[in-house]
């Protein structure tokens, strides 16, 4: 693929965010039909939030682009990327009245936008595999750094991710990013490609792909809201659907069940947005 500029990369990130929330049905998640297992947000909350972040993702890609042009080691670009992420979260909360709609996507899409920008700045082709591989290099050591000393914190001061790590040893999105997004690379992206090749619409292909993600991603959002047993149940159910075959009707039924049980696979939704972005890089 030809190299891209920062503006194009930022546009593709925004598109990915909009595609993710628009895909319908999604079990327990906000989509065009309902608010999923949420009372404090809806489809329009996500629209406002995504619009507020458009400038941030241009900044992410520009930061990476500058690093690529100057030949700065990727790991040395990452602290600046995280600072942009903090500013992006402030914009999100200002747009949503304090509601967390996109915090997970800010981390992953911000990181990947920076990596795509870095590759472009260095004069390399911007590919899905190259971007995800560079993401692992850019945030190398993040799990060890972010969780160092967390056991000394009081439970009240811990984030949800820190509590899940302490209790279950699960590294969540940090571990996924540091590994170069294997769930997206090995599961979600191939599934999306296949569904689209079969002639499915983007909406239907994304809804189907989400189930593949749910089958393989340990969702810290479910663990935080419920427990490990519920998270494992969600993985098992999705895995069985993938094994036996399923359709949109099955997903809609699962949506109704998860709304009733207040289950929200938010981590899987974030990885669906990542899948949208890296797929767009291939086009």
The answer to whether the CB of 259 falls within 8 A of the CB of 34 is: yes
> In this predicted structure, what is the pLDDT of residue 149?
85
pLDDT digits (tens, 9 = 90+) for 42-53: 999 999 999 999
The two counts, helices (H) then strands (E), for the chain are 16, 0
194 by Cβ neighbours in 10 Å (0-12 / 13-18 / 19+) ranks as: middle
- What is the structure's pLDDT at 160? 82
Q: How far is the C-alpha of 52 from the C-alpha of 55, rounded, in Å?
A: 7
- Tell me the average pLDDT across 3-15: 92
- Over residues 39-94, the pLDDT tens digits come to 999 999 999 999 999 999 999 999 999 999 999 999 999 999 999 999 999 999 99
Which pLDDT band, with edges at 50, 70 and 90, does 156 fall under? confident
Of 161, 162, 137, 139, nearest in space to 152 by CA: 162
Tracing tokens 């870095």 back to the chain, one arrives at 118
Q: pLDDT grade, residue 161 (50/70/90)? A: confident
Mean pLDDT of 174-197: 98
> What are 94's two structure tokens?
């200002």
> For the whole model, what pTM was predicted?
0.96
pLDDT at 187 over 70: yes
> How many other C-beta atoms lie within 10 A of the C-beta of residue 47?
16
**Enclosing H/E stretch for 68:** helix 54-70
Our CA angle for 23, 280, 22, nearest 5°, is 15
DSSP secondary structure letter of residue 97: T
pLDDT at 139 over 60: yes
Span 202-222, mean pLDDT? 97
At residue 24, does pLDDT exceed 50? yes
Q: What is the pLDDT of residue 3?
A: 65
Supply the pLDDT for residue 2: 52
pLDDT value at residue 20? 98
Query: What is the residue-wise DSSP string for 174-216?
Result: HHHHHTT-HHIIIIIHHHHHHHHHTT--HHHHHHHHHHHHHHH
Residues near 4 by beta carbon (within 8 Å), at least 6 away in sequence: 116, 120, 126, 281
| Cα-Cα-Cα-Cα dihedral sign, residues 91, 112, 251, 259 | negative
Span 184-194, average pLDDT: 98
Cα angle, residue 106 at apex, residues 275 and 178 outer, rounded to 5°: 65
Hunting for tokens 């939030």 — which residue is that? 49
The confidence score (pLDDT) of residue 127 equals: 96
- Asked if residues 51 and 43 have their Cβ atoms less than 8 Å apart, the reply is no
Mean predicted lDDT score pLDDT of the chain: 96
Is the pLDDT reported for residue 1 higher than 80? no
């Amino acid at each position: 693929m030809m190299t891209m500029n920062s503006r194009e990369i930022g546009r593709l990130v925004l598109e990915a965010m909009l595609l993710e929330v628009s895909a319908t049905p999604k079990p327990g998640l906000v989509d065009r039909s309902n608010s999923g297992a949420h009372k404090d947000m809806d489809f329009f909350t996500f629209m406002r939030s995504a619009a507020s972040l458009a400038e941030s993702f241009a900044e992410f890609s520009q930061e990476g682009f500058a690093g690529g042009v100057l030949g700065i080691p990727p790991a040395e670009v990452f602290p600046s990327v995280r600072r942009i992420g903090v500013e992006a979260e402030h914009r999100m909360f200002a747009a949503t009245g304090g509601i967390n709609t996109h915090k997970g996507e800010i981390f992953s899409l911000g990181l990947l936008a920076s990596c795509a920008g870095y590759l472009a700045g260095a004069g390399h082709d911007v590919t899905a595999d190259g971007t995800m591989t560079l993401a692992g290099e850019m945030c190398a050591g993040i799990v060890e750094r972010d969780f160092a000393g967390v056991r000394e914190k009081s439970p009240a001061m811990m984030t949800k991710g820190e509590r899940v790590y302490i209790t279950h040893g699960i590294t969540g999105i940090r571990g996924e990013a540091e590994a170069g997004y294997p769930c997206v690379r090995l599961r979600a992206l191939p599934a999306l490609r296949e569904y689209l090749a079969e002639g499915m619409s983007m909406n239907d292909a994304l809804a189907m792909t989400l189930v593949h993600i749910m089958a393989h991603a340990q969702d810290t959002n479910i663990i935080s809201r419920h427990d490990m047993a519920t998270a494992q149940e969600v993985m098992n159910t999705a895995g069985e659907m993938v094994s036996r075959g399923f359709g949109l009707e099955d997903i809609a039924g699962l949506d109704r069940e998860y709304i009733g049980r207040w289950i929200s696979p938010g981590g899987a939704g974030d990885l669906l947005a990542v899948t949208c972005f890296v797929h767009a890089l291939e086009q």
